Structure 1
């Protein structure tokens, strides 16, 4: 089956995720994480890609990039090959370290760019690893530095979005302005269903998901269609709202 072509971004910004092959851990220690960051520092500029935000988790990494020339595929391949060669030589591991195909999601607007930054920096907190401001392997602390002092973040847009560290912290401490998850085509994970689905229903219908039964049919259907458009399955909409399958399938 042929692969789907990658989506284009109207802004040039992309949220990229690289995952360990078969869910394997990517890092054995801090030395591995430092090596990956050094590889990013070396390879991204060669492809005219700026790094806006990053977070290294156990079995995956998040990168928010500015890719005006659409060269991310070559860049991610080079990063994966370089890190895998080092990792395999050091550990004796044989085979792929990363999944063969990386995942990317185009950032549609400045609002989505802000939410992507928040999402990436909050990732370790949502995973229960540490509070976002205490986690050492993300670009959060770089956002509190001057542009010249940042070791890895090169995106000039950071200083446009956040003229001061306080303006960045205000974003992190405020409620999301719109629902955000990395892809509109991937399925919503069960652990994200309640938070993500509730935000969508609130923004469309102004009520909780379970209250859709008691509002007008037109508004209810609008909320259902919004949930489906954002990737929720019929079963997930049913679990979230308590609505029947027939109502969900026939929303129009």
Structure 2
């Protein structure tokens, strides 16, 4: 099947996720993580790509970068190939380490950009591993010290400085940004995105609202990419009612 060419961002900003094949681990230890970061830095520097945020998880990686020269695909292929060679030689396994095609989201404006930065840094907390300030393997700490591989200045200026960045990152407010699973929202992101879209209501409160308001908000969730089953699990409302809501 012929692949559809990736859409290009007018601003040059992209959020990319690399996942291990079949959900497998892509890092055995911290040496692997350091190898990946050094490789990422070298390849992005040579391709004139500015890295803005990153987070390494056990079986996936999130990256946010500025690629005005449209070198993303070439750079990501080089990183994929080089890291697979390293990882396979070390572990004795064969084949690709990452899923064949990485996911990418175009970042269209500054508001989406800042929400994406927070989303990336929040990944360890969502996984129940660590809060963003305490997690070693993300760019969060680069925003409070001398940057190592990230270009932090532009993001900090948009937030309004280091203090504003920290407060916005740790205020506990739900973030409406998400990484799509095909056309839909992943279960991991569903609750937080729903809370952001429905505020000041919590998802479970929809069934207590007047019918017209309830149906309007159900339609908002469906339009944003929630499946009917996801909405039913979050709200406790029956699937037939959700399907008819307009």
TM norm. shorter chain > 0.5: yes
Cα deviation, residue 120, structure 1: 1.1
Partner of 1:196: 193
**Counterpart secondary structure, 1:112:** helix
- Contact residue 156 and residue 162 of structure 2 kept, 8 A: no
Q: Tell me the equivalent position of 2:121.
A: 121
- Residue 83 of structure 1 corresponds to 83
Question: Which sections of structure 1, spanning at least 5 residues, go unmatched?
Answer: none
What residue is the counterpart of 2:150 in the other structure?
Answer: 153
Aligned alpha-carbon RMSD (Å): 2.2
Displacement after TM superposition at 1:210 (Å): 3.4
Distance 1:236 1:182 in 2: 16
Aligned residue number for residue 21 of structure 1: 21
The Cα of 1:26 is off from its aligned counterpart by 1.0
Deviation at 1:47, TM superposition (A): 2.1
Distance 1:122 1:178, change over 3 A: closer
Deviations along 1:51-76, whole A, 9 cap, x unmatched? 00011111111101111222211111
Shift of 1:81: 0.6
SS of corresponding position for 1:94: coil
TM-score by length of 2: 0.89
What's the secondary structure of 1:133's corresponding residue? Answer: helix
Offset of 1:93 from its aligned partner?
Answer: 1.8
Specify whether residues 70 and 225 from structure 1 end up closer, same or farther in structure 2 by C-alpha distance, changes over 3 A only: farther
Aligned length: 246
Deviations along 1:64-121, one digit per CA (max 9) or x if unpaired, are 1111222211111111011111222222221111111101111222122111111111
State the match for 1:207 in structure 2.
201
Residues 156, 184 of structure 1: CA spacing in aligned structure 2 closer, same or farther, 3 A cutoff? Answer: farther
1:212 and 1:10 mapped to 2: Cα distance?
38
TM-score by length of 1: 0.87
Query: What whole-Å deviation, never above 9, does each CA across 1:197-217 have from its counterpart, x for those lacking one?
Result: 232222xxx423333344454
Which stretches in structure 2 are left out of the alignment for 5+ residues? none
2: CA distance between counterparts of 1:232 and 1:4?
A: 24
Q: Distance in 2 between matches of 1:109 and 1:15?
A: 13
| Alpha carbons 1:116, 1:182 under 8 Å: kept | no
Distance 2:181 2:210 in 1: 27
Cα distance in 2 for partners of 1:196, 1:86 equals 37
- State the distance in 1 between where 2:134 and 2:201 align: 34
Aligned to 1:49: 49
Within-5 A mapping of 1:137-152: 137-145=137-145, 149-152=146-149
